[in-house]
Chains A and B, each alone.
Chain A
């Protein structure tokens, strides 16, 4: 074994350890655990509200996503993603992003991290990966909560697609998983914006608020019809396109473009965060 190989292995090992410790840290924070509980609770609330309304007005069935839940609990997963994608999931990612760099700087732990023989670039990549894991956890948890609560309240069975055809339960669950993954990629891209903002300040709350504001601002811009020329360039514009998974055959065009937009935003802001973090003065 040559010296180079040993060093590569060691580097990989150190990356893994750092990543594991970062993920452990993210999931260990009490506020993050409470945040996950809130995401779960919202889906439960939505499920109960729909159940109550379905019991009051039986047979009153529209065709929107929320009415479809009454016929099949699995739709609650999609409905949950739909209501949480605008505010709560971005907020959760903003909290994680605020903690990522600004939080450590604020606590004074960032300089200890940098004392360890780890390059700043690699530390940032570890932080970015942990944000990705956080985004994935949030999206999958919402989908999972939807299935659990939905099936408990409404039962399961074949799903009716938006195109009017029926697909099996397994196929439906697979599509829900894909929807959660798609949402997670978008959230991770927002996480990269947050990571960049996090390198600009030493106040985690400022970074969190700024990131949440960016996402909210993007949603507002996306809702103004006069700005429709701008919409394709907005990060959040195609986030709701996961609903296209409920068409038969699945409509991928919007999601593919959406993924490219996510990746472009993610790459640009991760790079910007690296440019900034590389030369950042760690003053506290």
Chain B
């Protein structure tokens, strides 16, 4: 072989050239999604909200991407076995998730979490409600009485926004801020800013479709400017899904259980008779509740020991800090939780 030093050097040049090309190619791909802000007739927040309230889409099917960056450690392995309800709930708070949603009228809905090779779904077909877990091969069934809405029914985005706004109006600046594109559709941006600066929430930004007036994306921005939580449609189709989408029959071999009426759903908070004390209101509400550290299992207490210690006139405890929520677990068995700075939590603990 007569390859000298030059040839070796040239190889690296080719490697670098290929790398540069790859980067250029991907930049080209990602530019596709970065479109200029569309020009839409301006709307005040009130007008936009009215349109959202009146929106009656015949139905749609959409895919949403959910991202969380709360500064929490990965919770896999904490809180029970894989596929557990609590596990599912906790896992929603970390990492990225893909959610498929189908909606047709008020009483036909299907929401499916499609991560990895599993699927967890809630399907409402008229008065029939099914909860399906492919991981456990388990179907849970409930019958909904007419006019009654169980807590487990997936809330439509329209409803969610309406409820949110009614609750936050006194404590929040609501503005419309420009336009944007979500899932290839022009959207209005509705921005909610907490009036109290002690809140860890910097802004909540909701993107509303400019023709159908259905929310397509929501972002919770922490006060340090980072995206703490975001849900955004990656594709959406405003044609009514076929009825077969909402039909569910448990497959053979699956475990089928009947759910008790929603009254049973409140068993968790009432279990040990503790009711949280609420200090403050609006965005800076702090909940103080009892929590017996000695009852915590090994994993939880080990986790607790790894948290930084804090103390003050209110006592002594440990601080769990995330981008959106802070919590203080005191040694005398109390927990204060709120989307506020730790100082507010200490104040709430001091008031007893």
Which of A7-15, A44-52, A243-251 makes up part of the contact surface? Answer: A243-251
B18 touches A253 (CB 8 A): no
Cβ–Cβ < 8 Å partners of B132 in chain A: 163-164
Contact A283 B22 (CB under 8 A): no
| B83 (CB) vs chain A CBs: closest residue | A63
Contact among A163, A253, A268, A275 with B63 in the assembled complex (CB-CB below 8 Å): A253
A163 touches B21 (CB 8 A): no
Which of B7, B96, B251 meets A164, CB within 8 Å? B251
Contact status A164-B254, CB under 8 Å = yes
A residues less than 8 Å from B137 (CB atoms): 61-63, 67
Interface size class of B (residues with CB under 8 A): 35 or more
Q: Is A71 an interface residue (CB 8 A)?
A: yes
Which of A165, A244, A253 sits near B235, CB closer than 8 Å?
A: A253
User: Which residue from A82, A164, A265 sits with its C-beta under 8 Å from B121?
Assistant: A164
Residue numbers in B under 8 Å from A269 (CB-CB): 18, 22
Quick one: closest B residue to A243, CB to CB?
B117
Cβ-defined contact, A165 with B251, below 8 A: yes
- The answer to whether the Cβ of A64 comes within 8 Å of any Cβ in the partner chain is yes
Tell me whether A244 and B114 are in contact (CB under 8 A): yes
A171 within 8 A of B: no
With A225-B95, A253-B235: A63-B121 Cβ-Cβ less than 8 Å: no
Q: Which of B92-122 contact A (CB under 8 A)?
A: 95-96, 98, 100, 112, 114, 116-119, 121
In chain B between 118 and 174, which residues have their CB closer than 8 angstroms to a CB of chain A? 118-119, 121, 132-139
Does A24 make an interface contact (CB < 8 A)?
no
Q: Which among B38-46, B191-199, B242-250 touches the partner chain?
A: B242-250
Produce 1/0 per residue, B49-79, CB < 8 A to A: 0000000000000010000000000100000
The reply to whether A268 and B3 contact each other, CB–CB distance below 8 Å, is no
Question: Given that A62-B137, A63-B135, A225-B95 are known contacts, is A162 also in contact with B1, CB under 8 Å in the complex?
Answer: no
Shortest distance from the beta carbon of A195 to any chain B beta carbon, whole Å: 11
- Alpha-carbon separation in the docked complex, A267 to B26 (Å): 11
Q: Contacts of A253 on B, CB cut-off 8 Å?
A: 63, 98, 234-235
Q: What number of residue pairs across chains A and B have CB atoms under 8 A from each other? A: 105
Asked whether, in the complex, the Cβ of A61 is within 8 Å of the Cβ of B253, the reply is yes
CB distance B14 to A63 under 8 Å? no
Q: Please, how many angstroms separate the alpha-carbon atoms of A267 and B25 in the complex? A: 9
Most B CB within 10 A of own CB, among A65, A162, A233: A162
Contact of A65 among B25, B117, B235, B252 (CB under 8 A): B117
Q: Once bound together, how far apart are the Cα atoms of A254 and B25, in whole Å?
A: 19
| Bound-state Cα–Cα, A276 to B15, Å | 9
Interface flags for B289-330 (1: CB within 8 Å of A; 0: not) read 000000000000000000000000000000000000000000
- Name B233-268 residues within 8 Å CB distance of A: 234-235, 245, 248-254
CA of A268 to CA of B20, assembled, Å = 10
Q: For A64, what are the chain B residues with a Cβ–Cβ distance below 8 Å?
A: 117-118, 135
A61 to B253, CA, bound (A): 9
B169 → chain A closest CB, angstroms? 36
Interface string of A238-276 (1 = CB under 8 A from B): 001001101101010110000010001101110110011
| Contact A283 B1, beta carbon cutoff 8 Å | yes
* Contact A228 B29, beta carbon cutoff 8 Å: no
Asked if A177 CB lies within 8 Å of chain B CBs, one says no
Chain A residue with minimal CB distance to B22?
A268
Mask: chain A, 57-70; 1 = CB below 8 Å from B; 0 = not: 00001111101000
B274 within 8 A of A: no
- CB of A148 within 8 Å of the partner chain: no
Cβ contacts under 8 Å, A281 to chain B: 3, 7
Q: Which of B2, B21, B112, B134 contacts A268 (CB 8 A)?
A: B21
A196 within 8 A of B: yes
The verdict on A71 contacting B253 (CB below 8 Å), with A251-B114, A272-B21 known, is: yes
* Nearest B residue (CB) for A105: B1
> Across the interface, which residues of B come within 8 angstroms of A104, CB to CB?
none
Smallest CB–CB gap between B217 and chain A, Å? Answer: 16
Q: Tell me whether B249 and A63 are in contact (CB under 8 A).
A: no
Knowing A162-B134, A163-B121 are in contact, say whether A275-B250 is a contact too (CB < 8 A).
no
Residue from the set B22, B117, B137 with the largest chain A CB neighbour count within 10 Å = B117
From known contacts A164-B132, A165-B251, infer whether A202 and B1 are also in contact, taking CB-CB under 8 Å.
yes
Min CB gap A51→B, angstroms: 17
24 A-B interface contacts by CB (under 8 A): A67-B137, A160-B254, A164-B251, A196-B18, A225-B74, A225-B95, A228-B95, A228-B96, A243-B116, A243-B117, A247-B114, A251-B63, A251-B100, A253-B234, A254-B98, A260-B29, A268-B18, A269-B18, A271-B21, A272-B14, A272-B21, A281-B3, A283-B2, A283-B3
Going nearest first, the 5 A-B pairs with the smallest beta carbon separation are A272-B18, A162-B119, A160-B251, A63-B137, A63-B135
Please give 6 more A-B residue pairs, beta carbons under 8 A apart, in addition to A162-B118, A166-B252, A283-B1: A63-B138, A163-B132, A200-B11, A233-B26, A253-B234, A268-B21
